Chains A and B, each alone.
Chain A
Amino acid sequence: MSSAADTAAGAAVAGTGRGDGPRRRWGYLFERERVLGPVMLLPAVLYLIFVVGYPLLLAFFYAFSDVTVGSNRFDFVGFQTFITAIHDPVFLKAIEHSFLITGISQALVIVLCTVLAFVLAADFHGKWFLRFLVLMPWTTPVALGAIIWLWMLDSIFTPFDWFASKLGVIPDGGHLVLLGHAGTAVGSVIAVQTWRMLPLATVIVLAGLSSIPQDIEEQAQVDGAGFWRRLFSIQLPLLAPVIMVAILFGVVFTFTDMAVIFILTGGGPGNATQVLPSWAFYKGINGGNLSVGAADAMFMFPVLLGITAIVLRMASRIGGE
């Protein structure tokens, strides 16, 4: 198609070119697909090359080298850096925590965002205000959100202690110290990650919900289906691709996030909440061992590659229909 259009455009230019000034010839430059296309794509390509491609390549080089902050040596050492990275006992824990935190928080997001989307799709007064409130956590910068939660989860001034003592979990005046114990610290991180990803997922599912034709919903009612049957055999199957998109976003954002860990727990107590990105950061930047930090970060690559493959396949399937 593009070649036919080009030929046609070329012929038109050639036809009108004779006897016309250069102005006429150059005036239609941007109407040629071969010129306009690259020009429009250029900013995006430049962005990808300098902000995504270059750092990725650099990390790749570092991972196979012995580069550190403290010296200007740069030798390729093959897989030696990876072997060093794997043999650190914290590394395996970090991988485990990464999957655990991402898995549980996104499972919660699936359930909660679907429920929330159904609630927000209903007609009631103040719907727009509630939608706005639900979206708020997403518009807040991650670091700010994490700081708010840091205060909420403070070992002495946390409001959760009051709730817990009223429920009789701890004695009056006692402290939960949520971020001070391994289990509750992981739980807190999961809660914050869920809180952060829920708005985006809800908005995506809400959009999917409103794209289900009214007719289908009413047909199901007339066909005799009650609420649960409509939910499980009509609405959820039709929403599945959209929920999938929401989850893929959530997985990518949660799996690669280190801001929440960095601010909330610093990977602690001990290394109980250490995840891959935070571990790579502590090793590479704080610890100055750039090559091992880069190698740690490289282990996120297969997971993200897999998700990208799924997204691209879904996109092409939707495009093909």
Chain B
Amino acid sequence: MATVQTRELRKEFGHNAAVDGIDLETEEGEYLVLLGPSGCGKTTLLRLIAGLEHPTGGDVLIGGEVVTRLPPRARKIAMVFQSYALYPHKTVRKNITFPLAAAGVPKESWPDKVEWASEVLGIGRLLDRRPRQLSGGERQRVALARALVREPQVFLFDEPLSNLDAKLRTSARDELKEFQRRMGVTTVYVTHDQVEAMGLGDRVAVLNSGQVQQIGLPEEVYADPANTFVATFVGAPPMNLLHVKDELLGFRPENLLPLEAVGRREGQMECDFEISRVENLGSDRYVYGTIAELDPDAKVIAKLPSTITVTVTPGGREKFVVAGDKLRYFDVEGGHRIDAPTAELPR
């Protein structure tokens, strides 16, 4: 087991910096999720850690050792690709033993290791099949078994769930988390899906344009975004941002609630919400509209759980409130988080 560290890591393609000076460090056995939109550099970062790309600058350390100049096979890592990249001409058993053969592990110990890995992942009955005879979920488990069998220092996952259908994805996510918890191996996991990131990560690093925007516990990233990018990328629907005087005022849609439903409390921000549209999604209602007194141009969304049964009608105007401790402020230029408002907001 080992930690992964990057120091001032850079990767440029032409004049384009895909990874723009990233400093990251995992803890022992940590599950670190790299989250970001497509093109943010998260996959390039993972490939730099794996050794499949050569950095333009900076260093990669695995287990405290600089591995920047080492080829992938010398890094004691295991990687699971988005496509699972099973060898199509080999049986499941041969797929799993391939890393053992490559590492020069004596043949006598292969059966034990295969049995162990296939037991962990419940694929014992699939060992003599070929990859094309497997379902998506089974392929994922075979890829995991192949990654597991050489007992790597670090697991690297590149969107391993994105090829599964929605229903399978939920159970596979569950299995993946359970798997990592049992193995206790340091894992770096790349995804663009915030639900995966929140559910799987011990910590989440949000990336955009080749830089780390924020790194922290999932609940920190969600509740206390470091800037407006994180605020709007994490969370669905995204955080409401209103231009109020010299700051941006932010609050999550689920924190904007009808006054009638929550009652008047100390420190609340109270406002008139002009409702333009209501969407009923079963478990929630999304209420779209504007708050003219704060920022008449900003579209605002309120997310009301089905437990709140207050009637909201399109075209109407209702009193809505946000609890004082749920309000966040950002500066207008850089979009960075700032602590306290410099101007008094309407109460």
Contacts and interface: CB of A to CB of B under 8 A. Distances in A.
Interface of A: 213, 215-216, 218-226, 229, 233-234, 237-238, 321
Contacts of B98: 220, 223, 225, 233
A237 B52 contact: no
Secondary structure at the B interface, as helix, strand, loop or mixed, is mixed
Interface of B: 50-52, 71-73, 77-79, 81-83, 85, 87-89, 98-99, 101-103, 132, 146, 150, 156
Nearest to B80: A219
Contact of A224 (B82, B88, B99): B99
Of A218, A226, A237, A238, which is in contact with the most chain B CB atoms at under 10 Å from its CB?
A218
A226 B73 contact: yes
Given A229-B102, A233-B98, A321-B132, A222 B87 contact: no
Contacts of B102: 220, 223-226, 229
Contacts of A213: 83, 85
Contact of B99 (A216, A223, A234): A223
Nearest to A226: B73
Secondary structure at the A interface, as helix, strand, loop or mixed, is helix
A229 to B, nearest CB: 6
Contact of B78 (A222, A226, A321): A222
Contacts of A224: 72-73, 99, 102-103, 150
Contacts of B150: 223-224
A222 B89 contact: no
B88 A222 contact: no
B89 A219 contact: no
Contacts of B73: 221-226
Nearest to B150: A224
A216 B72 CA distance: 14
Contact of A216 (B52, B71, B87): B87
A223 B104 CA distance: 12
B52 A234 contact: no
14 contacts: A213-B85, A215-B82, A215-B83, A219-B81, A222-B73, A222-B78, A224-B102, A224-B150, A225-B73, A225-B98, A225-B102, A237-B89, A238-B89, A321-B132
B99 A218 contact: no
B103 A222 contact: no
Contacts of A238: 88-89
Nearest to B71: A221
A213 B82 CA distance: 12
A243 to B, nearest CB: 13
A222 B83 contact: no
A183 B124 CA distance: 59
